[in-house]
Structure 1
Amino acid sequence: MQVNTSIKQVHTHNREFSNVANRLDRLPISRVHYQVLFALCIVYFFDLADLFTLSNVAPALIDQWGISLKTIANITAFSFLGMFLGASLGGWVSDRIGRKKALSWFVLLFSISSMLNALAWNVPSLIVFRFLTGVGVAAAMIVTNSYLAEFFPTHVRGKYISFCAMVGLIGVPITNVVSALVIPLGPWGWRLVFVWGAVGMIYSLFSRHLEESPRWHENRGEFDKANAIMRRIEQRVEQEKGALPIPKEPMPVKTIQKAGYLGLFKGRNLKITLVLAGVWIFETFGFYGFASWVPSLLKSNGVTIEKTLWYNVLQSIGAPLGALIGSMISEKFQRKWILAVSAFLTAMAGLLYGMTFIPLIIIVFGFIVNVTERVFTSNLYAYTSEPYSTEYRSSGSGLAYGLGRFSNIFGSLIVGFIAIHLGYVSVFLFIGGCWLACAVLLALFGPNTNAKQI
């Protein structure tokens, strides 16, 4: 009865607005939400797992193909060029064809491309396949975050995006374990790591539980479609939880048919775009400078491939723990301060990591870096989707994320140059400085976002 009243009220205003934000915000967390969360956790898991396959495979490629650290840097650079294009164009595409349809296509792209990585026969072919994988991985990530930000209630939005990131980050140590087990099997072992990255296509088996984002329809002025989706969601939640509370009074919805990139550099969006782009650029230098280069740097300094891989496994156990902590505290403090503090702690632990070759110290500080880094990352995915309004969400977060990935085209070359010409310790001084820059940017200029309806 209460739910019938609320739906009747919405019909009265159907031609003007569909009150999607308030209707979603008053829903209790239910099976509908968990089905969405499960499907998107699959995307996160294999999306983030694939980001680290090349770093694990790199030492084997150096041995078997006789390539140098500079060549690895070039392959990595093309991967990040693909991520830049995927994030920038993926957000734009999803703003036009819808979150659900775009996500299905991008997951398929990165899964097939990862499988093609396993078939690479030389450096140029691997570059092409890594580029395509980067396009799919980054685009899928942006659309996933936009969907989560638009679907979950405002007061728990950050918690569930961070939880999804936590599940995704579990893919990092699992991928490291898979790599450590299959790479030593033979000269073809590294190819199995890329086959593992392609398993993400199982997402298609669960995507049928996802509705299109009703907020996306509403923002386009397609109120009938938004209402139809909301009625299906509300009926499913009511069957499980009982009568629903009446939503808050509807507010007129501003509809924009064409939201171009130019709008990201006007008004309040300008500051948001500059801050987020800066954070993602420095985060990319710091995050991938550590994760992508540590195995190769250790090997270049006399540590065997087997020990390097298992050091990586032990350190990366901290990744899901950090993401879990990030999820637990996401709604307890302003996310900008969670991000600033965790970035500072990552800088300190990373600097200490680079000061020794003592195995125990490497493992301990590597573990700490993985914890604090993932507290940061799990909250950054939530934070990036929050400041923009619906019409700019995918495009804005995609541009910021994409610029970060684009910057690592140069970041990989910078880290490679530093490693070759200035030495091992200098790499970690550079990485630590990047994390400190993140902390300063967020503390001084980052907007507050918790519990704000977007």
Structure 2
Amino acid sequence: MSHSNALNRLNRLPVFRFHRTTLLVVSFAYFFEFADINSFATTAPKLINLWGVTVNQVAYVTSLSFVGMFFGSIIASGVADRWGRKKALTMTTVFFGVFSFASVFSWDVLSLGVFRVLTSAGLSAMTVVAVIYVNEIYPAAFRGKYQAYAIVIGICGTPVTNLIASAVVPLNDWSWRLVYLWGSLGLLFVFFARKLKESPRWLENRGEHAQADAILTELEAQATAEKGPLPEPAPPVDEPPAAKATLRLLLQKKYLAPTLLLTVVWVTQTIGFFGYSSWAPTLLAKEGFSVEKSVFYVALTTVGAPLGSFLASLVTDRFERKWCLVAFGTVIAFCGLLYGLTFDPVLIVVFGFLVNLFERGYTALGYAYSPEVFDTRSRSLGTGVSYGLGRLSNAAGPLIIAALYNNTGYQSVFYFIAGTWIFGAVVLAIFGPRTRAARLQQPQKPRAAA
């Protein structure tokens, strides 16, 4: 077969059981990614007391973790292009689960730091692959909504982990290790991965049209049995199999602009979000709140995270994603600044709740927006590089925050974080391409029978 017409055949599918099952499986991976991503932040206050860890050492571990995220993102794009989206999602989820489990047995801040860098590489790699997979397997008309739904479910891992940490970390001198044991449960993903299908668009891009057609035919049969006859897909556009995407590809004018734009988006999101989530427990503890209270307050604020992702699901396919991102980023900046200007526990929780709500909505919107500015050939590489550079930027972020805190005080940290969000919103407003019109292009209606 010369062409499997994957995009148009996927786009004319209704929502049916396969999409709901895939949502739950991807959400499971997201759940433990979000569960594990702040594990070090929730245990750092305890380690400061137990091991004598300094604020600068916390900064170094956090910084190096983002270096690991950068390499994980870059490697993930290559793995996803070579072995497929489904296999890559399984491999990256298992990778971060293994090293989260290894963190349970760390014996000092150096060993824990090494395990956290490797865990972080896997977390970032899994995110890149999951974003690409959802983009390619769901119809364009509701892929943004389902990307957000996956985050709604997955992001629950953050408050659940923080509440678990607030309960177990203070118990005794070893109970903090249970936080990392909890994060390692992502290894159970291997039991659910068989429910997934390989991306027909990836197979088609490699010229493996027969395999792509087999998967599409199976999905169409299931959808027809469940929902009734399907409309005819739009006719395919014949294209030769794409050559392997290399980093040089992103230097072409067609790809350089979106790569640079998304790099700014993910740099400001990374510094802006992890400035809050990675540092809030430690900084609150340094400002006189007990370890128990600092971790508990942060746990309460993260309850807003699933609601933010749900909010994104309501707007992502109805409005231009670019402007949703701009609006969310601006709100985060102001709420985050107010969070840093108060020491009242109620206001800390309220403004922290709003930061988490809008930031997780921003992330869900960004996950849907990023792959849309690339074609199939460049999608994995472009998404991985821009997301990875964003994560790499926070190798400097914690060092900047530590320097600001040590030299100019607690509140200066939050002026800096708010400024990064505003900068990202302005750049996106000026240079961000619109993607809604392309998403709304519908396949041709079925032709009347002769």
Return the TM-score normalized by structure 1. Answer: 0.95
- 2:158 aligned with 1:175, yes or no? no
Corresponding residue of 1:49:
35
Report how far residue 48 of structure 1 moved.
Answer: 1.4
Q: Distance in 2 between matches of 1:142 and 1:379?
A: 14
Choose the corresponding residue for 1:247, options 206, 210, 233: 233
Choose the corresponding residue for 1:165, options 151, 160, 165: 151
* Unmatched runs of 5 consecutive residues or more in structure 2: 442-450
Aligned pairs for 1:2-13 within 5 A: none
Report how far residue 451 of structure 1 moved.
Answer: 5.6
Report how far residue 178 of structure 1 moved.
Answer: 0.8
Corresponding residue of 2:321:
335
Corresponding residue of 1:114:
100
1:259-308 deviation per Cα after TM superposition (whole angstroms, max 9, x unaligned): 11111121221110000001111111100001110110000010001111
Corresponding residue of 1:444:
430
- 2:346 aligned with 1:355, yes or no? no
Aligned pairs for 1:28-427 within 5 A: 28-427=14-413
Q: Distance in 1 between matches of 2:409 and 2:135?
A: 42
Name the aligned partner's letter for residue 396 of structure 2: F
1:56-97 deviation per Cα after TM superposition (whole angstroms, max 9, x unaligned): 111011110011010011111121111100001111221111
Q: Distance in 2 between matches of 1:31 and 1:451?
A: 28
Name the aligned partner's letter for residue 321 of structure 1: L
1:451/1:237 CA distance change after superposition, 3 Å: farther
Q: Distance in 1 between matches of 2:300 and 2:114?
A: 32
SS of equivalent to 1:211: coil
SS of equivalent to 1:258: coil
Q: Distance in 1 between matches of 2:262 and 2:395?
A: 18
SS of equivalent to 2:280: helix
Q: Distance in 1 between matches of 2:427 and 2:150?
A: 25
Q: Distance in 1 between matches of 2:33 and 2:347?
A: 30
Name the aligned partner's letter for residue 143 of structure 1: V
Corresponding residue of 1:4:
none
1:181-232 deviation per Cα after TM superposition (whole angstroms, max 9, x unaligned): 1112211111000001011112111111111110001011111111111111
Q: Distance in 1 between matches of 2:206 and 2:438?
A: 21
Q: Distance in 1 between matches of 2:71 and 2:307?
A: 31
1:172/1:451 CA distance change after superposition, 3 Å: farther
Name the aligned partner's letter for residue 411 of structure 2: V
Report how far residue 418 of structure 1 moved.
Answer: 0.8
Q: Distance in 2 between matches of 1:345 and 1:339?
A: 10
Preserved CA contact (<8 Å) 1:83 1:138? yes
Name the aligned partner's letter for residue 89 of structure 1: I
Name the aligned partner's letter for residue 18 of structure 1: S
Q: Distance in 2 between matches of 1:287 and 1:219?
A: 35
1:93-142 deviation per Cα after TM superposition (whole angstroms, max 9, x unaligned): 21111111111111111001001111100122111111110111111111
Q: Distance in 2 between matches of 1:173 and 1:432?
A: 23
Name the aligned partner's letter for residue 428 of structure 1: F
Preserved CA contact (<8 Å) 1:263 1:269? yes
Name the aligned partner's letter for residue 94 of structure 2: L
* Unmatched runs of 5 consecutive residues or more in structure 1: 1-13
Q: Distance in 1 between matches of 2:100 and 2:436?
A: 36
Name the aligned partner's letter for residue 311 of structure 1: Y
Report how far residue 254 of structure 1 moved.
Answer: 4.4
Name the aligned partner's letter for residue 68 of structure 1: T
Return the TM-score normalized by structure 2. Answer: 0.96
Q: How many residues align?
A: 440
Identity value in percent = 43
Preserved CA contact (<8 Å) 1:158 1:450? no
Q: Distance in 1 between matches of 2:346 and 2:93?
A: 39
Moved segments of 4+, more than 4 Å: none
1:160-189 deviation per Cα after TM superposition (whole angstroms, max 9, x unaligned): 111111212111111111101111221111
Q: Distance in 2 between matches of 1:450 and 1:206?
A: 33
Q: Distance in 2 between matches of 1:186 and 1:313?
A: 19
Name the aligned partner's letter for residue 112 of structure 2: L
SS of equivalent to 1:155: coil
1:379-436 deviation per Cα after TM superposition (whole angstroms, max 9, x unaligned): 1111112111111111111111100111111111111111111110000000000000
